[in-house]
Structure 1
């Protein structure tokens, strides 16, 4: 079974539909129960099976009990895809403290809590695969995404550390770093619409990102960077940050 957080819309919804088409059984989590039912109906109308559970990933104190409850009902997870996340594109000094806290609660602490709750079951079976949806923003921070970038830096650091901790087991850990994806994510992140307008031609289709993640499910790897050219660009930034900031300064200021 493939557990997916943030499965009511966007990439999570696309993943749920695609893994069901591939013959797996998705177990879907999100806050919006109505939308979860819609995803379940889409899957079942195509002949698949899906389980849905309402879960607010930011309420970390309830996650362990929720995971145990779902395991008791449907069985343990083979794969956990930590997909839930959101952004607010704003200058650092104009972001409210409660917004910063919410971004970290969902993007980082919720992901950690889901992973911690899943690991005892995976360790017991000595099998499993944890896939954390990070972002290219976790490698190359840009203006008006300071807090979001910080959360994705945290996700990458956490993912890399957990991978090393599990090196002597058969449990796989993958970080997925997509660039901007054409999903409802930007309805909240970019409420003015200026960023989407500037980078629309570079946006990834959720169907493409989902298909690439399914390839990683079938053949696990350490990290998946999408698109490939953006992965190359972030590597260059890590090697020559000052030069990249100088040459690509205007391109980095498109929010």
Structure 2
């Protein structure tokens, strides 16, 4: 517990559960004013109340469906009415679905890109402009180890997360001269309700227990790097090492992915 984020404003998408919720509460525990965005307003209100108790600062709940441009624009306008500045934008909203691509419903892929990529990009564009006007701020975009290491049954999801990673890499270069930082967070599997949709059978979660992360631990790591110049946060260390190995030795990487990371 500290006041390291006192008088700072943190906007978090996907804040109603999982990593987004954990980042909201971790930020609040350090004194931040948090603005929580997600589709479930009732859940957001509960988390906002908990955040206020932790921070003794304001906490706001804003309903937004990131698959809808109109919702993003309305949420942005509402946030601007509630706070005077934005210090950190955490784009944590997203979902995935694991299935063989040739058997997949292309509507699922469309919806994944709409939320995980285009919704994130639109949020970044709107709030990033405020940061440019301020001359400061940090954008934290959630990619995934899936965007760095290919695994079976995740073609569309991996493509979406790879898009987020490269988008963030380019954005980092464009915004650096203006004092706005960009960090990408690439976690492996995390104990969240993400897998309620992504892995309805439960088989993948069962097979990757050794790599599973706690959302509170991920949140601590992310908030720890608020304000830093860190480019990427890759978790856990074992999968981060696999990602480096894959870039150096893609043939070996394919074999290791099939043996250890493609257990869906």
Given the two structures, how large is their TM-score scaled by the length of structure 1?
0.96
- 2:21 maps to 1:34: no
Separation (CA, whole Å) in 1 of partners of 2:257 and 2:100: 19
| 1:166 alignment partner, SS class | helix
Number of aligned residue pairs: 255
* CA deviation after TM superposition for structure 1 residue 168, in Å: 1.1
What is the CA distance between 1:69 and its match in structure 2?
3.1
Partner of 1:44: 52
RMSD of equivalent CA atoms:
1.4
2:22 match? 14
Q: Which residue of 1 aligns with 2:191?
A: 182
Alpha-carbon shift at residue 200 of structure 1 (Å): 1.6
Q: Which residue of 1 aligns with 2:93?
A: 84
- Name the structure 1 match of 2:148: 139
Alignment of 1:115-194 (within 5 A): 115-194=124-203
- What are the within-5 Å matches in structure 2 for residues 182-221 of structure 1? 182-221=191-230
- 8 Å CA contact retained: 2:12, 2:20: yes
Tell whether the 8 Å contact from 1:82 to 1:133 is kept in structure 2 after alignment: yes
TM-score (norm 2): 0.93
Measure the CA separation in 2 of the matches of 1:46 and 1:216.
20
Bigger mean CA offset, 218-227 vs 125-134: 218-227
Structure 1 runs (4+) deviating above 4 angstroms are none
Aligned ranges 1:45-84 → 2 under 5 Å: 45-46=53-54, 48=56, 49-84=58-93
Structure 1's unaligned 5+ residue stretches are none
Residues 60 and 109, structure 1, Cα contact 8 Å, conserved in 2: no
